[in-house]
Structure 1
Amino acid sequence: MIHYPIYGQRPVHCLDGVWDLAFLGCDIDPEQIHPADIAFADRMAIPGVVDSLPSYRKQRGCYALRRTVQCQHTGRAGRLVVGGLGLWAKVIVDGQTVGTCLTPWAPWQVDIPASEATQRELIILIDSRIDPERVPLFDPYFDFYGYGGIFRSCFWHELPELAIERAAVLPQGLDGALSVELRLLGQLPAEVDVHFAIDSGEEQSLRLTVEQGVAHFQAQVAKPQTWSPQHPHLHTLSIRLDSPGSAGDSITERFGIRTLATAQGQVLLNGEPIKLLGYNRHEAHPQFGPALPLQQLVQDLQILRSLGCNYIRGSHYPQDQRFLDLCDEMGFVVWEEALGWQARKPHFASERFHQLQEAQTRAMVRTSINHPSVIMWGFLNECESHLPESEDLLARLSAAVRAEDSSRLLTFASNHPFEERNYHLVDVVAINQYPGWYPADIDKERPLDEIEPLIDRLLAHLAEQGQGDKPFIISEMGAGAIYGWRDELEGHWSEQYQAAYLDILCRRVVCDQRIAGLAIWQFCDCRTYSDGHALGRPRSFNNKGSFDEYRRPKMAAETVRRIFTQ
């Protein structure tokens, strides 16, 4: 599926479809693979994951994917743009390595040298083995399954000599004033002639100064309409370059006009308080892994809308751009975060880990910059942020996000709320806790009475720490249930226990003005550990979904719908 931005002049080849596939082995060193020695004997659909294919289930290893790209022009450099893949990849074009991806799930791109041939051979080596030495951003203890494959659409761009990379469109209020940052590639001039039009209106022309590949200009929407969950109005900005003597280039970006702020413990959207009510959502399905078809993305949002939700936390990695396009159109607000799960002291001591975290976080922000649905950036879910060793990395990522985009709110989810050292970095305090599920009193049969006292303690502690004026959101809280298991004693893992838990939690959040939002953990069950860690995860799934992995509702779904829509 084509998503925004749209490049109207250059040839862009969508590479979705059936590729050649070769399984190279579980013990092979991918750095020693020679493309000419690969025997392609199978096929695979892209986007897709090898873990879902009957012949390769339970086989973590190295795979090769191949297809040809029929270019329209000779002598043009190219760029391969991948929406997300895992867990490691090397790109080989016409037998030559052009790049290696070490950032699973993150948007990634690599430049391709020009050729006099129009038919190009593209091979992507995929390694699904979990190896923190080679791929430091994914550890074996992560509580979601690490798939191997190309998760999202990928595109081959044939670039002109002077090309547009992106245009970041930042509304300067609700009156339609825009600040535009235009990023350019290729043979960069000192000045460039730009023609732009808003909402397919009359074209305007400017001559802009280019500094380090970036040009800036101001624009005005003639008839601005505000974006909100109730009225998700969207605008477009089309930009065209003049390149005398060579092919030109153009881009169309879509954006929304809305403002974000915080005041007196509330999130303000367009100057009005908004209570964030929704779920954490993994991109997961037992048949497709994270390579979800468009129909599933639409259905997930329709289900969430039917529950009365207005808010989604994209856990725990950058989101599919198609999904964010849909959120823009349907009026959901989104917390988008970079890949990270319980980073520990050794991670904080690794400069390589720091560099990769910053790289993927900047890539996320740059890719999603124009989605009005995205109101918060985050990173490093549940890291050991109570340790002094965490402070340098969290400060570095906070600075990187604010340097890329100062218009949105910044947060991260802490599960060390009473020892947290980094609240000062965020605009919104977000806390993950599971009272009544991982109980303080393990001998109590139904410890549901732990939920509200813990919330009270959190609110009191934040006030004591001078954080009481910041919005406080519960970024994870919930209980597990096995779909279909209804128990007379309503014990743990029963649908009744989960429904009773969420009844208490949701009523408290809806009625308490001191709580700015709730992301229930989680929307649907998703596959997790396939090793001994699964002893705490029946079926090797995280079963805290209000829906099972096939989106069949548990009793809790109706409980949430009743409270969120009352």
Structure 2
Amino acid sequence: MYQAWAPAAGPRLRLAALAAVATAWPQDTPSWPKFPGRKVQVLNGTWQFAFLGDVPLSAGIEVADVATDAVEVPDAFDMRPEVPRCGCWPEAEACELCCGRGFGTFGSSQCWQALPEEDRTAGFEQCCGPSPLRYRRGVALYRSFVQVPAKSSGLLLFGACTLRCLVAVDGVFLADHSGLSAFNVPVPASESTLRTVTVLVDNRFNQVTHPVHQLKYDWYQAGGLIRAVQFHSLRGLVYLQAVEVFPRSAAEVEVDFRLSVAAENVQGLHFRWRFDDTAEGCSWQQWPTVSCCSSNTSVPDAKLWTPQQPHLHRLKVALLLGEELLDCQEVRFGLRTLEAKGREIRLNGQKLSLFGLNRHDLWSSAVLTQEQLVQDVQLLKNLGANFVRGAHYAQDQRFLDLCDEQGLLVWEEVLGWQNTPQDFADGIFMMQSLKLADEMVAASVNHPSVIFFGFFNEGRSDDPSPATEAAYHSMSQRLRERSKSSRLISWGSNAAANDRYLHYADVCSFHAYPAWYPSDAPGNLEEVKGIPLIWEAYGRYVAELFPEKPLLITEAGAGGLYGHHGPSEEKWSEEYQSLLMQMHYLSIFTNPSIAGLALWQFADVPIDRQTSSEEHRPRGLNNKGVLSLSRQPKLAFQALRLLRNRKEGEYFGLILPPEDSERLTGLFKV
């Protein structure tokens, strides 16, 4: 059991200041839905924090007398942004030499030759400013306070808490959650008007307690309260858990109301609603009445959601008992239809040609500002992308809101990467994965931009064991049923023709990295020349065995070190990366048997240095981004943008440096 908060020594928050802190929280939710029937407090701001180190995670940890510092939540405590004080940015040569890419290594001694040996570490600290918790793993304590009406129950909404967290309010343990997804924690009523929220976060890997996170995953998995936290004060135990809108045509929707458990025993509940209500608050008195928890209805003044014209509707729902308002919620949705028909993916009956990139929700930190999210969406649009694959976990709801508004189509998937038959036979892994699937759908079901739900990225779908088949069957069935077939279900497969479970997918989604792996081998122009043949073979295979399923290429690409230039056949150069990215693009968009492409990847991302060597992941990064870590464009970004934005009749072929054009133009022929 957690202990109640008590003052500790040092420069800490004092009891006299707690009320002021607890009443200063913002009230506007950072993403949809909105909650006009509740007192909402967004707990983004100053929390108490302590790193407890390599101790067992337990609800019995004594925290009352732990000395704490102030931090700003959202926070990734092992990945706090580091801005070098020597006036450079991560990809600049000066920082690469002095600080190392991750600002956590000493870097090259060339930087410190002018300093006496005993002063070099101090010089590194002064210039690079490394965080003492950068890449540290262990248990961290977060604690905050919120002012609420007396005797009111509540709901804590976590955008994400990773890797595993224990949640308590007023010293009472309430929840244990693992994985990267949004989740809610009911909070019992109390006589107190000042509630203490305590979260213990464990960012260590543990195959027994939270096997959904694994060290081998190919990105840095940060620990902390990495997305928004909200506290909702409720009017009682009966409330709306969710309002879910499923478009059934260009003008009709099915609306489901999900109620709290306590509502099961209450008679006389009913609903009122209004579409596209512009009034503030919840003035439900004149709204139409709906008596059941699922209803089909027409949307007044219905407008389609399309990538070109992403029109969004809103629905406000009031939950009532007699004339008493119990809760009110407003959701946003788009009217669109989606289907996989033969070789095509169709949106509103029109064939889609998908082009985009895989994107991790990472910069140099796992905590992204609204400005960074907007910048990423603008860069995708500037490139000419209409599609983004969210890798490899549930996406930030703010990002999905932006995709809804900008008409970007999205693939969202359950946390996972190259999972094994041993994982699929592990009951804890499967239980947590299915729970994450439920949470992902619950959070994202009203986003019209999300057209795919995926899972088990590059899992062992070639394995014939009963546990593996059961895993693919149960996950595809769970996502399909929970989303009421409003999304296409698939997984990124590197098994291709050896994949045993494609009959469970709506779309075949294949990965391949020709002419790249092994990444330490020299570039081979014959392999580059063979890229179109590989995609042709994949297209023929799917057409013959699964003629009713479209084919997507959901990963293909190459690494390129930002700022490193050389001949177009030199691996790790920006030129070689650009050549391969263009070959994939040109091959796939001249192949009518393939419905689209998501290149790997949007931007460079940090990896855990324990999982890969500098030889394969230079600078501590997965360098396959067409943008650098800080979103500086590489040659591949510029070439792809030219190809995507060309006008009809303009040149369609490889864009090469002048010194390479004569030698390499013949690699691809339209």
Counting only pairs closer than 5 Å after superposition, residues 437-516 of structure 1 correspond to structure 2 as 437-438=516-517, 445-446=524-525, 447-464=527-544, 466-488=545-567, 490-516=569-595
- One-letter code of the match for 2:71? M
Tell me, in whole angstroms, the C-alpha distance in 2 between the residues paired with 1:8 and 1:186: 21
Tell me, in whole angstroms, the C-alpha distance in 2 between the residues paired with 1:184 and 1:434: 47
SS class of match (1:69): strand
| CA gap 1:496/1:191 in 2 versus in 1, 3 angstroms | same
CA offset digits 1:443-471 (Å, max 9, x no partner): 6633312311211221122233x213311
Tell me, in whole angstroms, the C-alpha distance in 2 between the residues paired with 1:565 and 1:339: 34
Tell me, in whole angstroms, the C-alpha distance in 1 between the residues paired with 2:288 and 2:310: 29
SS class of match (1:480): coil
CA offset digits 1:501-556 (Å, max 9, x no partner): 11111112222221101110000000012115234211121000000100000000
Counting only pairs closer than 5 Å after superposition, residues 66-77 of structure 1 correspond to structure 2 as 66-71=143-148, 73-77=149-153
How much does 1:11 deviate?
A: 0.7
Instruction: Say whether residues 1:50 and 2:77 are aligned partners.
Output: yes
Most deviating of 477-486 and 81-90 = 81-90
Match of 2:318 in 1: 240
SS class of match (2:481): helix
Match of 2:471 in 1: 393
Q: Which has the larger radius of gyration?
A: 2
| CA gap 1:550/1:249 in 2 versus in 1, 3 angstroms | same
| CA gap 1:68/1:441 in 2 versus in 1, 3 angstroms | closer
How much does 1:384 deviate?
A: 0.2
Match of 1:171 in 2: 247
| CA gap 1:29/1:163 in 2 versus in 1, 3 angstroms | closer
Most deviating of 293-302 and 398-407 = 398-407
Work out which of the residue numbers 392, 411, 422 in structure 2 matches 1:346.
Answer: 422
- Matched-pair contact (CA < 8 Å) for 1:14–1:156: yes
SS class of match (2:398): helix
Structure 2, unpaired ranges of 5+: 1-28, 81-130, 279-283, 647-670
Structure 1, unpaired ranges of 5+: 210-214
How much does 1:245 deviate?
A: 7.8
CA offset digits 1:310-333 (Å, max 9, x no partner): 000000000000100100000000
Tell me, in whole angstroms, the C-alpha distance in 1 between the residues paired with 2:296 and 2:508: 33
- Matched-pair contact (CA < 8 Å) for 1:35–1:95: no
| CA gap 1:444/1:318 in 2 versus in 1, 3 angstroms | closer
- One-letter code of the match for 2:354? L
User: Which structure shows the higher strand fraction?
Assistant: 1
- Matched-pair contact (CA < 8 Å) for 2:210–2:429: no
Tell me, in whole angstroms, the C-alpha distance in 2 between the residues paired with 1:443 and 1:186: 61
TM-score under structure 2 length normalisation? 0.80
- One-letter code of the match for 1:337? E
Work out which of the residue numbers 482, 491, 494 in structure 2 matches 1:404.
Answer: 482
How much does 1:439 deviate?
A: 5.8
Counting only pairs closer than 5 Å after superposition, residues 181-196 of structure 1 correspond to structure 2 as 181-185=256-260, 187-188=262-263, 189-196=266-273
How much does 1:371 deviate?
A: 0.3
CA offset digits 1:345-395 (Å, max 9, x no partner): 111111111111111001101110000000011011000011023110110
- Matched-pair contact (CA < 8 Å) for 2:568–2:579: no
How much does 1:265 deviate?
A: 0.6
Tell me, in whole angstroms, the C-alpha distance in 2 between the residues paired with 1:525 and 1:65: 30
Match of 1:199 in 2: 276
Tell me, in whole angstroms, the C-alpha distance in 2 between the residues paired with 1:444 and 1:63: 45
Work out which of the residue numbers 584, 593, 597 in structure 2 matches 1:518.
Answer: 597
Tell me, in whole angstroms, the C-alpha distance in 2 between the residues paired with 1:122 and 1:549: 34
Tell me, in whole angstroms, the C-alpha distance in 1 between the residues paired with 2:391 and 2:511: 12
Tell me, in whole angstroms, the C-alpha distance in 2 between the residues paired with 1:507 and 1:186: 53
Match of 1:212 in 2: none
Identity %: 34
- The RMSD of aligned alpha carbons is 1.8
| CA gap 1:173/1:190 in 2 versus in 1, 3 angstroms | same
- Matched-pair contact (CA < 8 Å) for 1:192–1:241: yes
- Matched-pair contact (CA < 8 Å) for 1:478–1:501: yes
| CA gap 1:311/1:426 in 2 versus in 1, 3 angstroms | same
Tell me, in whole angstroms, the C-alpha distance in 2 between the residues paired with 1:485 and 1:441: 16
Match of 2:255 in 1: 180
| CA gap 1:451/1:307 in 2 versus in 1, 3 angstroms | same
Counting only pairs closer than 5 Å after superposition, residues 209-288 of structure 1 correspond to structure 2 as 209=292, 215-244=293-322, 248-286=326-364
SS class of match (1:325): helix
Tell me, in whole angstroms, the C-alpha distance in 2 between the residues paired with 1:222 and 1:207: 16
| CA gap 1:263/1:187 in 2 versus in 1, 3 angstroms | closer
- Matched-pair contact (CA < 8 Å) for 2:357–2:601: yes
- Matched-pair contact (CA < 8 Å) for 2:391–2:413: yes
Tell me, in whole angstroms, the C-alpha distance in 2 between the residues paired with 1:550 and 1:383: 30
| CA gap 1:516/1:31 in 2 versus in 1, 3 angstroms | same
- One-letter code of the match for 1:208? S
| CA gap 1:319/1:562 in 2 versus in 1, 3 angstroms | same
Most deviating of 268-277 and 441-450 = 441-450
- One-letter code of the match for 1:493? W
Match of 1:557 in 2: 637
- Matched-pair contact (CA < 8 Å) for 1:429–1:472: yes
- Matched-pair contact (CA < 8 Å) for 2:606–2:621: yes
Tell me, in whole angstroms, the C-alpha distance in 1 between the residues paired with 2:70 and 2:569: 47
| CA gap 1:555/1:542 in 2 versus in 1, 3 angstroms | same
Match of 2:160 in 1: 84
Most deviating of 530-539 and 368-377 = 530-539
Match of 2:174 in 1: 98
| CA gap 1:251/1:452 in 2 versus in 1, 3 angstroms | same
Tell me, in whole angstroms, the C-alpha distance in 1 between the residues paired with 2:613 and 2:268: 59
- Matched-pair contact (CA < 8 Å) for 1:439–1:450: no
CA offset digits 1:226-284 (Å, max 9, x no partner): 00000000000001122348652101010000000122311100000010100000011
Work out which of the residue numbers 424, 431, 442 in structure 2 matches 1:366.
Answer: 442
| CA gap 1:392/1:34 in 2 versus in 1, 3 angstroms | same
CA offset digits 1:118-173 (Å, max 9, x no partner): 10011111111122222110111110111011111111111222211111111210
- One-letter code of the match for 1:550? S
Instruction: Say whether residues 1:19 and 2:47 are aligned partners.
Output: yes
Instruction: Say whether residues 1:541 and 2:621 are aligned partners.
Output: yes
CA offset digits 1:70-108 (Å, max 9, x no partner): 11x1112211110112111111111111111112x2111
- One-letter code of the match for 1:127? D
SS class of match (1:301): helix
How much does 1:37 deviate?
A: 3.7
Tell me, in whole angstroms, the C-alpha distance in 2 between the residues paired with 1:9 and 1:519: 41
SS class of match (1:531): coil
- Matched-pair contact (CA < 8 Å) for 1:30–1:62: no
